Structure 1
């Protein structure tokens, strides 16, 4: 089983929105084989708390245009690591320091990477 087309569509839209707010190290993993709750983890980094919030707002706005609302949000108050759960995808927006410390990409390195447009950006 792999991530369905809707999950990939939402992932690419979220990645574009994050990049529009200068998110760094944007990476998506197809976790559908490992997790029953979601298909994709999208990871991205931000330089500071303010940028984390700007990326969060941009992702939510873009996905709302595609009729996807987060079913759960975590970490908004702290602004260091925001998790947005859209059901099919989970977006992790991490302050650069948290990204290094928690190294989620290492945890999910055995999962297929989803190709994102403008991966070189």
Structure 2
């Protein structure tokens, strides 16, 4: 099974919004095979808590403009790992240190990457 067209649209909107807020290491994964609840993950990193929150706010604003409504938000008070669940897409915005520690890319390494059209820093 592959991610839906709507999920891919949301991934690209969210990735562009993250890039606009200077997010680092933006990665999208198609998790539709192993996860029946969502189609895609978008992972992005911020350099500090303030940057993490700005990235998450920018993504949420962009997806709201596109008609996507968040089903759940977590982590806004700490600014270390913000999770935004839009149903077809789950966005994880990490502080750099937490991204390395939790290493979601390694946990989901069997899932294919979704090509992104933003200038991502590697």
- Report the TM-score, using the length of structure 2 for normalisation: 0.96
- Report the TM-score, using the length of structure 1 for normalisation: 0.97
Post-superposition offset of 1:15: 0.4
Q: 1:71 to 1:119 in 2, by over 3 A?
A: same
- Point out where structure 1 has 5 or more consecutive residues left out of the alignment: none
Structure 2 partner of 1:91: 91
Structure 2 partner of 1:35: 35
- Tell me the SS of whatever aligns to 1:34: coil
Q: 1:29 to 1:119 in 2, by over 3 A?
A: farther
Post-superposition offset of 1:24: 0.4
1:25-62: CA deviation from partner (whole Å, max 9, x where unpaired): 00000000010110001000000000011001100110
Q: 1:1-121 maps to which residues of 2 (within 5 A)?
A: 1-121=1-121
The answer as to whether partners of 2:24 and 2:120 remain within 8 angstroms in 1 is no
- Point out where structure 2 has 5 or more consecutive residues left out of the alignment: none
1:43-100: CA deviation from partner (whole Å, max 9, x where unpaired): 0000000001100110011001110011000111111000000000000000000000
The answer as to whether partners of 2:19 and 2:120 remain within 8 angstroms in 1 is no
Q: Distance in 2 between matches of 1:111 and 1:119?
A: 22
Q: 1:17 to 1:120 in 2, by over 3 A?
A: closer
How big is the alpha-carbon RMSD for the aligned residues of Structure 1 and Structure 2?
Answer: 0.9
